[in-house]
Amino acid sequence: MTTLWEKIESVGPLDETAMAAARERQDTLTKPLGSLGRLEELSVKVAGIRQMATPRISDKAIITMAGDHGVAADGVSAYPSEVTPQMVYNFLRGGAAINVLARHVGARVVVVDMGVAVDLEPHPDLIVRKIGYGTRNIAVGPAMTKEEAVLAIEAGIEIVEAEIARGLDIVATGDMGIGNTTPSSAIVAAVTGQAVSSVTGRGTGLDDVRLRAKIETIERALCVNQPDPRDGLDILAKVGGYEIGGLAGVIIGAAANRLPVVIDGFISGAAASIAVLLCPQAADYLIAAHNSVEIGHRVMLQRMGMAPLFDLNLRLGEGTGAALGISLVEAATRLLSEMATFAEAAVSEAVDNAGTTVV
């Protein structure tokens, strides 16, 4: 079996030849130059990822990973941990927001148990890659061992590669886990060095008193564990989550197989931070769907040099924002491949005063 480190080594740069061809075609389509804005940029990026001048997107999946967190016992969430398995069952029944939006964009939802604190009932659409029954409480010690962190990432790689074997063209990341904004805030604070209070939000709706307690819990976790800001694996093991590690693996596995990855909100952003620390080249394969209400998400995206496609004040997770992001990426690639050029449409191009074609 290919190891994590071998997979990281196999991630290559974007294909500049394919990107140049995509740009050239964009400049001949029946529109003023650059008039489709970021949709043009998206199409060129996907061309470089897929090594195709006119990439197509038809097979889409949202990988939603679930895990529980020992730190939830400290009251960092407005909801009890029992909600994690309940929501997984909702995903499997097709009744959650992610199911609705996945159907809307024509994507399948791949539901994975990475570390739910109970044994879930068997279901044909449930993938069980449980590393443990929830992480340990980061406020008193490491969330997991480094060996468990590697297992979580490698599980994510294997899951996305199984989807790729089915013909996947694009993947999006999603999450479920009561308390998981707490390790995500710990990760962004560890990576950026910013104060915990500046990267920690209300999660599922904490009041001021419980928000202050959540911040103090994260500060204690960072003090107790002392994660190395340069070492993604150390950060994941000390203050992360099993589903966060799994999503980092999805990102690395997708990048190694030249697949675009649309990342969702705060938890997916934390996973992306881990993935990019481990494999800086993987950043080229990421597309940030949206800007979460969680205040640490913007910090995280800025750190990775990523601009989200939209801002709808979303804070649900599950992959909901990423599902909508897939729709925009598909629209961008369809414009590139399906629009007529000026020559094909027999439309005259504009010419400036110097005689140069400007479209």
CA distance 274 to 130: 20
Work out the angle between the directed axes of helices 295-303 and 181-192 (0-180°, nearest 10).
Answer: 40
DSSP string, 136-193: --TTTS-SS-HHHHHHHHHHHHHHHHHHHHTT--EEEEEEE-TTTHHHHHHHHHHHH-
Structure tokens at 45: 């990026």
- Does 158 participate in catalysis according to the annotation? no
CA distances from 61 to 25, 118, 194, 234, 307 (A): 28, 26, 34, 29, 22
Residue with tokens 């029946």: 30
Structure tokens at 88: 């997984």
Structure tokens at 267: 């938890």
Among 40, 318, 330, 349, the active-site one is: 318
Order of strands, sheet of 126-128, starting from the edge strand that comes earlier in the sequence = 126-128, 108-115, 60-67, 170-176, 261-263, 286-288
Q: What residue type is assigned to position 45 of the chain? A: K
Residue 115 has φ and ψ, to the nearest 5°, of 180, 40
CA distance 90 to 78: 19
Length of the chain equals 359
- DSSP-based three-state secondary structure for 14: coil
CA distance 39 to 331: 8
Catalytic residues: 318
